[in-house]
């Protein structure tokens, strides 16, 4: 398999596992374009119709999620420094996955809320 095909396959695996994990707790919006490393935008679920109606006139804060899948000794590359105050979104999450041959692993990290 070519490097490009393997990269595409791994990207799809990482995004699918991230989405499956997030769907239990959040509303998940998939971006049609991977801009600045953001694969998904997440929103806290509303429990009632009244809660949804109360939100309709306010801007909802979204969490920004980036997902990666790696196997063997593959290097994981991020499109930007998630720790930098100048580029950090509020909040930003990174999910890293490994293959499920013996036991799958998931690693997560997040950036703290910061005011610039």
Task: Give the full edge-to-edge strand order of the sheet including 92-97.
Answer: 26-35, 38-44, 63-69, 92-97, 106-110
CATH code for the domain in which residue 54 is found: 3.40.1350
State the residue range of the domain holding 40. Answer: 3-110
Task: Copy the structure tokens of residue 66.
Answer: 């980036």
pLDDT of residue 85: 46
The total of structural domains in the chain comes to 1
Whether 88 shows a pLDDT value over 50: the answer reads no
Domain assignment present for 115: no
Task: Copy the structure tokens of residue 76.
Answer: 């994981």
pLDDT of residue 23: 92
- How confident is the model over 19-58, as pLDDT tens digits? 999 998 888 988 777 777 788 888 888 889 998 888 877 7
pLDDT of residue 112: 56
Mean of all residue pLDDT scores within the chain: 75
Full-model pTM: 0.69
């Amino acid at each position: 398999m070519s490097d490009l095909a393997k990269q595409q396959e791994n990207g799809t695996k990482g995004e699918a596992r991230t989405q499956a994990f997030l769907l239990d707790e959040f509303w998940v919006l998939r971006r049609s374009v991977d801009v600045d490393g953001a694969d998904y935008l997440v929103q806290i679920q509303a429990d009632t119709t009244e809660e949804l109606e109360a939100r309709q006139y306010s801007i909802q804060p979204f969490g920004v999620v980036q997902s990666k899948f790696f196997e063997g000794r593959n290097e994981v590359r991020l499109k930007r420094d998630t720790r930098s105050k100048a580029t950090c979104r509020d909040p930003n999450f990174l999910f890293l996955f490994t293959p499920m041959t013996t036991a799958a692993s998931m690693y997560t990290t997040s950036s703290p809320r910061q005011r610039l």
